[in-house]
Amino acid sequence: MMSPHRTPDWLLERIALGELPPDELAAARDRLAHEPDGPARLAALEADSRATLEALPPDRVAREVKARAARKLQLVPPHAEAPPSRPSWRFLPALVPVLAAAAVVVLARPGSSPEGQEAPHSPWPGTEAPPGVLEATRSKGLQPRLDVHRQVASRTERLTDGAPAQAGDVVQLSYTAAGRVQGVIVSVDGRGAVTAHLPDQGDTSVPLARSGTHLLPRAYELDDAPGFERFFLITADAPFDREDVMAAARVLAASPDARTAPLALPSGLGQTSFLLEKPSR
């Protein structure tokens, strides 16, 4: 196991790119500055990034700079961070090793695959978009969608609804708003617990990125709740009361139908869910 006193490589990459929320970035830079080889490692990585950009044609450099700026804007949270309502969740940084690999695929392969097809060896199927924006909205008839990826060693796999999972799995949530402007993401589990993921506090829904598929800023480690984990994306065309969603989730979590039934929500709210089965061993 890597020493907690040495910044891991994946976090070093996020620091170099500035791809952390401002408070987390400041804290990470401060810790790095106090490590024996921290400043030297950061300087070497930044130099390598500059060399990579200098080797690219000017138009590619411009696109990459714009993409990085967009990613930084997406990392500014709408509310201050607070502990989740379910203490057994472990909140982790986004699945950075694979996101960094996705950026390398974009930089290293000037030609992109035809729209809707998978780029060679891309860890995100069907996408050439930068981290934080996994794919472009391809259809005007697209419906809001919730996706879950699981980290496996140095790669991720995109899970299907109903996929098996187990305690200790690290998962990353992403959503496609498909034009809906406000949203909330919550989860319920086989123990009857409810967790708010977006936002994790506050009274109302939050603005959604209206096009493209967007990562939540944190990954999550599944706890030992038995049976299942089920995530819900609630969307609307106007702000709505977050507590209405939380109350509906608490009612559903206490029901024997929590694995399959929809949330009982006020009219005007849309919902989609994603189920992870946790078979008993």
Hey, how many other C-beta atoms are within 10 angstroms of the C-beta on 62?
A: 11
The confidence score (pLDDT) of residue 121 equals: 32
Q: Compute the distance between CA of residue 270 and CA of residue 233 in angstroms, rounded to an integer.
A: 8
Q: Compute the distance between CA of residue 101 and CA of residue 159 in angstroms, rounded to an integer.
A: 19
Strand-pairing partners, residue 158, are: 149
Maximum C-alpha span of the chain: 59
The confidence score (pLDDT) of residue 135 equals: 38
pLDDT in tens, 175-205: 999 889 999 999 999 999 999 999 988 899 9
Distances (CA, A) of 201 to 119, 153, 274: 38, 32, 22
Confidence of residue 43 (pLDDT cuts 50, 70, 90): confident
User: Which of 12-21, 76-85, 153-162 is least confident?
Assistant: 76-85
Q: Report the 3 state secondary structure along 75-109.
A: CCCCCCCCCCCCCCCEEEECCHHHHHHHHHHHHHC
Check pLDDT > 50 for residue 211: yes
Closest to 259 measured CA to CA, from 196, 198, 187? 187
Distances (CA, A) of 12 to 39, 84, 95, 198, 240: 10, 26, 13, 26, 38
End-to-end alpha-carbon separation of the chain, Å? Answer: 26
The confidence score (pLDDT) of residue 92 equals: 54
More confident residue, 272 or 101: 272
Rg value, the chain, Cα: 19
pLDDT in tens, 258-278: 999 999 999 999 999 999 999
Check pLDDT > 90 for residue 54: no
The confidence score (pLDDT) of residue 12 equals: 78
Span 83-89, mean pLDDT? 43
Tokens of 198: 């977006």
Q: Compute the distance between CA of residue 190 and CA of residue 205 in angstroms, rounded to an integer.
A: 25
Check pLDDT > 60 for residue 18: yes
For the chain, percent of residues with pLDDT exceeding 90: 34
More confident residue, 112 or 205: 205
Span 253-260, mean pLDDT? 93
Strand-pairing partners, residue 278, are: 227
More confident residue, 114 or 34: 34
Contacts of 42 (CB under 8 A, 6+ apart): 12, 15, 16, 32
Q: Compute the distance between CA of residue 137 and CA of residue 161 in angstroms, rounded to an integer.
A: 20
